C-alpha cells in the first residue's frame, strides 16, 4: 500500500517486455493517469512520495527506466532518447492507458519532450522539470565540456569516479538540499521493496551505462522548437524555487525553453529532486497543472 498522510492508496506492480528488455513499473491510486519519468539513475521509486500524495485523485504510473534499478540491461549500448520515449509508450500500454499527463524531471524531462514530439497523442499535458539541455544554458560551452569530461573520466578512471564528478558538479556548490532529499527518500521507502520487485542492477553497472551511454545524448538533445510551439498549450516548464534562488543553470534552461516555445513556466517547491522530500508541497502544484481543462 502507498501512503497519503494517514490514509493509504493501492499500489500494484508489474513488468512489460519491450525492445529486448523488461521494464518494472508501479501503479499507485486511481483516477486520471499521470506518467512520471525519472531522471539520471532512472529509479521510479523516487516519485513514490509524490505518487502517494496524488493517489487519491490520480492513477500515478512510475517505472524504472531501461538499464536502471529493477529493469533489465540486456542491450546497454543501445541507449537513445527516442527509445526511451518508446519505452514510456510501452509502459502506458501495459497498464491499459493510451494517453496520460506526463511529469518528467531532469533526464526524464528530456524524454518527456521527445515523447510529446514523437508520440503527441499519448501526452495530454506535460510538466518538464529542469531539463539539463546544455544548448539553452547561459554558459553552454562550459556545460558541454563538463559532461564530456565526465565521459572521459569514466573511460580512464571508471564510472564511479565519473558519477561522483557528475553528482557534485552539475549543481555547482549547491548540493546540500538534493543530498538531504535523497536521505529523506530512503527513510520514506523503508519497507517498500518486496521480493516481487525482483533484483536490482548493480550500482556500478547502472553508473557505467548512465555516464557512457545516456549523459551526452540527453544533455545534447535538441528538441524541435517549432513543433513544441504548436503544442505549447500542453507544456509547462518548471524549476524549483531553490534552484532559482541558488542561480543553478537548470532554472535558466527551463525559463528559456518556456519562452522560446510559448509555453508556461512555473516554480515548484525546493530543489532538483524535491519531489522526493517536498511531495506534500509539490502535489497541489502538480494537480493544479494536470487538473486544468485540456487545451
Judge if pTM exceeds 0.85. yes
Which helix or strand (DSSP H or E) is residue 37 part of? strand 32-37
Answer whether 128's CB lies under 8 Å from 237's CB. yes
pLDDT score of 251: 96
What is the Cα–Cα distance from 67 to 206, expressed in whole angstroms?
Answer: 6
* pLDDT above 80: residue 292: no
Beta strands 235-240 and 264-268 are: parallel
* pLDDT above 90: residue 148: yes
What is the Cα–Cα distance from 150 to 93, expressed in whole angstroms?
Answer: 35
Query: How many CA atoms are closer than 13 Å to the CA of 132, on its beta-carbon side?
Result: 22
Which helix or strand (DSSP H or E) is residue 24 part of? strand 21-29
* pLDDT above 90: residue 84: yes
- Integer angstrom CA distances of residue 137 from 58, 109, 217: 34, 15, 16
Name beta bridge partners: 12. Answer: 27
pLDDT tens per residue, range 177-222: 677 777 788 888 887 877 667 788 888 888 899 999 999 999 999 9
Answer whether 133's CB lies under 8 Å from 253's CB. yes
Query: Which domains, ranges and CATH numbers included, belong to the chain?
Result: 2-290 (3.40.50.1820)
Beta strands 2-4 and 7-9 are: antiparallel
- Which range of 59-63, 78-82, 158-162, 272-276 scores highest in mean pLDDT? It is 59-63
Q: Average model confidence (pLDDT) for the chain? A: 91
Answer whether 105's CB lies under 8 Å from 275's CB. yes
Amino acid at each position: 500500500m502507498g501512503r497519503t498522510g494517514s490514509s493509504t492508496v493501492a499500489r500494484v506492480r508489474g513488468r512489460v517486455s519491450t525492445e529486448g528488455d523488461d521494464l518494472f513499473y508501479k501503479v499507485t491510486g486511481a483516477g486520471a493517469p499521470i506518467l512520471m519519468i525519472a531522471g539520471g539513475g532512472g529509479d521510479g521509486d523516487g516519485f513514490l512520495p509524490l505518487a502517494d500524495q496524488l493517489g487519491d485523485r490520480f492513477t500515478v504510473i512510475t517505472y524504472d527506466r531501461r538499464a536502471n534499478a529493477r529493469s533489465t540491461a540486456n542491450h546497454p549500448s543501445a541507449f537513445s532518447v527516442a527509445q526511451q520515449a518508446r519505452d514510456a509508450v510501452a509502459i502506458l500500454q501495459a497498464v491499459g492507458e493510451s494517453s496520460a499527463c506526463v511529469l518528467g524531471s531532469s533526464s526524464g524531462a528530456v524524454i518527456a519532450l521527445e515523447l510529446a514530439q514523437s508520440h503527441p497523442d499519448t501526452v495530454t499535458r506535460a510538466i518538464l522539470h529542469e531539463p539539463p539541455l546544455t544548448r539553452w544554458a547561459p554558459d553552454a560551452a562550459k556545460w558541454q565540456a563538463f559532461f564530456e569530461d565526465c565521459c572521459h573520466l569514466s573511460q580512464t578512471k571508471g564510472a564511479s569516479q565519473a558519477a561522483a564528478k557528475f553528482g557534485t558538479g552539475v549543481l555547482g556548490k549547491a548540493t546540500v538540499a538534493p543530498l538531504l532529499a535523497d536521505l529523506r527518500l530512503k527513510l520514506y521507502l523503508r519497507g517498500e521493496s518486496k521480493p516481487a520487485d525482483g533484483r536490482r542492477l548493480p550500482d556500478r553497472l547502472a553508473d557505467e551505462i548512465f555516464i557512457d551511454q545516456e549523459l551526452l545524448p540527453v544533455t545534447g538533445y535538441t528538441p524541435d522548437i517549432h513543433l513544441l510551439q504548436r503544442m505549447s498549450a500542453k507544456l509547462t516548464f518548471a524549476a524549483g524555487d531553490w534552484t532559482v534562488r541558488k542561480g543553478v543553470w537548470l532554472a535558466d534552461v527551463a525559463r528559456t525553453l518556456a519562452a522560446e516555445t510559448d509555453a508556461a513556466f512555473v516554480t515548484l517547491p525546493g530543489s532538483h529532486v524535491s519531489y522526493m522530500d517536498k511531495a506534500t508541497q509539490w502535489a497541489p502544484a502538480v494537480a493544479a497543472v494536470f487538473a486544468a481543462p485540456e487545451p
